[in-house]
Amino acid sequence: MMRALFLITMIVACVGGLLSISNPVAFASMKGAIIRATDRTLGSPPRQATAVRAVEVPRGDSGEFRLKAKINGVSAPMVIDTGATSVVLTYETAKAAGLPLELLDYSVEVETASGHMRAARLTLDRLAVGKLVERSVPALVVPRGQMKSNLLGMSFLNRLESWEVSADKLKLRGYP
């Protein structure tokens, strides 16, 4: 019995490790679900938030939801884009945030509203939107002059407990 339990634990750990490396967005979104399922299975009471981690973003005149985020502590204007698979940064923002641009490999094919281009993968140490702070966020950087706006895409939004549009406001809610 102990061997079987040990074997199952090792298989789950290996699969989790591979998932975290190959698809960090899926791994991060599963983390909250696993914690809640474990609490229910063990009969623990639901976790109560000590403070609500939420941010409301008003719709701008152009119809977009724009906000100021902090990337590794550096302020950056962003447009929320639920159609973007990833957070996407302009070269200029990445440089201001101190990201290692000289090490980037622009080998990722992306299709944007601006057209087809190549981007480079990287991981942001810290991405904060108000009270919502996420670490190790997968992102893309496009070459200088290829985009005008930074995009807050699904690699950040998938880590939240929820997000919803109501009238002219977008509400982002983090896990407690």
Residue pair 86/154 in contact by the 8 Å Cβ criterion: yes
Q: What percent of the chain stands above pLDDT 90?
A: 62
Q: Where are the beta strands (DSSP E) in the chain?
A: 54-58, 66-71, 74-80, 87-89, 108-112, 115-129, 132-141, 150-152, 162-166, 169-173
pLDDT higher than threshold 80 for residue 37? no
> What pLDDT is recorded for position 49?
45
Element holding 97 (H helix, E strand) = none
Task: Express each pLDDT in 51-70 by its tens digit.
Answer: 678 999 999 999 999 999 99
Query: For residue 66, how far is the Cα from the chain centroid?
Result: 16
> What pLDDT is recorded for position 175?
92
pLDDT higher than threshold 70 for residue 128? yes
Residues in the chain: 176
Strands 169-173 and 162-166: antiparallel
> What pLDDT is recorded for position 65?
97
Residue pair 161/174 in contact by the 8 Å Cβ criterion: yes
DSSP type of residue 59: B
Task: Express each pLDDT in 147-166 by its tens digit.
Answer: 999 999 999 999 999 999 99
